[in-house]
Amino acid sequence: MDEKLNIYEDKMTKSLNNLKEEYAGIRAGRANPHILDKLRVDYYGTPTPIQQVANVSVPEARMIQIQPWEPNMVKEIEKAIQTSDIGINPTNDGKMIRLVFPELTEDRRKELVKDVKKKGEQCKVAVRNIRRDANEAFKKQIKANEISEDEEKQLLDEVQKLTDKFIGEVDKTIDEKSQEILTV
C-alpha cells in the first residue's frame, strides 16, 4: 500500500479503536470492570486510575468488587464513583466497595442501543471526514504536479476502499454491541 494512504488508514483505525473503547464503557446488564477505566481517584494529590490503587474483580455476573490496597482509599474511590456518570451507588463495608448492577429494563436496553448507534454514526462521520481530507490532499498534489492523474485516480480508489472497509467494521461493531445489550 502507498505510504500516502498509511496516514489516513492510521486515523481511521484510531477512530474505530476509540469507538470500541467507548463501547467498553457501556454496561449491558453485566458487570464489566472497563466502566471504571476513565475514573480517577485522588491518590496523594495525583489523579490515578482505580486499577492502580485497588484490586478490581467480578465475583458474580452483576457485581464488581473493588478492594483498595490502602484502607484510607475506600472513601476516595467511593467518592469518585458517586460523582461519575456510571449511575450505580457503591456500597462499602470499610474494607471494600461493591457495585451491584441492576437488571436492565427493556426500555433502558432500547435506549442504550440508540446510544450505541449514535456513537457508531459519529464514528462513520469521522471516517468519512478522513476520506474527504485525503481526497482534498490528493487534489492539491495533482494541482502542484506532485502526482499524475493516474496516480490520483488510483489513490482516490484506494481511499474509497479503505473507507468502505472501515464503515463495514463500524457496522459490525455496532451490531455486536447492540446484540450484547439486547441479550437478556
Structure confidence by residue, pLDDT tens digits, 6-30: 899 999 999 999 998 888 777 666 7
Phi, psi angles (nearest 5°) of residue 60: -135, 165
Contacts with 51 (C-beta within 8 Å, 6 or more apart), sequence order: 33, 36, 37
Helix (H, G, I), strand (E, B) or coil at 87: coil
Q: Would the pLDDT of 163 be above 70?
A: yes
Structure confidence by residue, pLDDT tens digits, 39-78: 888 888 888 888 888 898 888 878 889 899 988 888 888 8
Phi, psi angles (nearest 5°) of residue 63: -140, 135
Q: Measuring CA to CA, which residue among 93, 101, 87, 60 is closest to residue 75? A: 93
Please give the share of the chain, as a percent, with pLDDT higher than 90.
31
For the chain, what are the domain ranges? 3-24+105-182, 33-100
Q: Measuring CA to CA, which residue among 124, 90, 118, 116 is closest to residue 27? A: 116
Does 3-24+105-182 match 33-100 in CATH topology?
Answer: no
The cell for 142 is: 495533482
Domain 33-100 adopts which CATH fold?
Gyrase A; domain 2 (3.30.1360)
Classify burial at 67, counting beta carbons within 10 Å of its beta carbon; exposed 0-12, middle 13-18, buried 19 or more. middle
Q: What is the pTM of this model?
A: 0.70
Q: How far is CA 172 from CA 38, 136, 148, 182, in A?
A: 25, 28, 36, 15
Q: Under CATH, domain 3-24+105-182 is a member of which superfamily?
A: Ribosome-recycling factor (1.10.132.20)
